[in-house]
Amino acid sequence: MYNGRVKGRQMLLDNPARESRNKKEADAKRARRMAEKDKKNKGSIGKREAKEKGVWNFDETQAKFNLFLPLHHLWMGYMSELLGLPQPAASEPPSSQAMPSTASMHPKLVKADFHGSIMTVRQSKNPCLVGLSGIVIHETENTFKVVTVKDKVKFVPKENAIFAFSVPLYSTLSPSYKQSQPLPIPDPGAPKTTVLQRPHIEFELHGNQFRFRSADRAGRKFKHKETIEL
């Protein structure tokens, strides 16, 4: 077989033409992906650029809980629209029967934005963090940055922690509001109340399963996972 098929013949061990064609196709696909990504992120800046420009730099002299209450009220309106909360009854007091189905809320909440919510550390391996509560002003992949009632800025790690947050039981938007309209800007002179001072539903959030940026959660498919107690 060697003498008849191999001996004295040239054997081409690679295919330069095919390799060049595959490289051109790969470069074209990469260019298309980059163009689509740039088109999608038009008008936004990346994480590194935001850090270089100091977008997330915060003057701690402005760490006032009351200063961020309008952001919290805006978040309650956002939750009212996202979850389709009903308007409060005019004559009847709140009842357990009026509570909406929490099963339908879970898929929306895992992808929601929590900037403006009030997060409370329910369990943590660091006992100094248990009971810490405040308005979320910045969320990263691994931490929540909150402003507490005592006007202090705290970084709370998500790892090995369980958080509690609440959403209003009834819509905080006016009955005339339509979803096609932008969310109304809260009145600075509105009462200094939070979701905890009105009928609300409390949820628990396991930090180990929530270590994603809010932008990444929006397009992510979450699957049920068993949770190991701390």
Check residue 136 and give its pLDDT.
Answer: 94
Per-residue pLDDT, 94? 55
pTM for the whole structure: 0.70
214 compared with 50, residue with greater pLDDT: 214
Mean local confidence (pLDDT), 158-169? 92
User: What are the distances in angstroms from CA 17 to CA 12, 13, 27, 48, 195?
Assistant: 12, 12, 15, 39, 66
Which tens digit of pLDDT belongs to each residue from 170-212? Answer: 888 888 887 777 777 777 777 788 999 988 889 999 888 888 8
**CA–CA distance, 84 with 167 (Å, rounded to integer):** 12
Q: Domains of the chain, with CATH numbers?
A: 60-87+100-217 (2.30.30.210)
**Average of per-residue pLDDT across 52-65:** 77
Neighbours of 135 (CB within 10 A): 22
pLDDT surpasses 80 at 124: yes
Q: Is the pLDDT of residue 101 over 70?
A: yes
Between 86 and 52, the higher pLDDT residue: 86
Task: Please classify residue 118 by burial: count the beta carbons closer than 10 Å to its beta carbon, then call 0-12 exposed, 13-18 middle and 19+ buried.
Answer: buried
Joined tokens for residue 60:
């701690």
Q: Which residue has the higher pLDDT, 5 or 222?
A: 5
According to the model, what pLDDT value does residue 109 have?
87
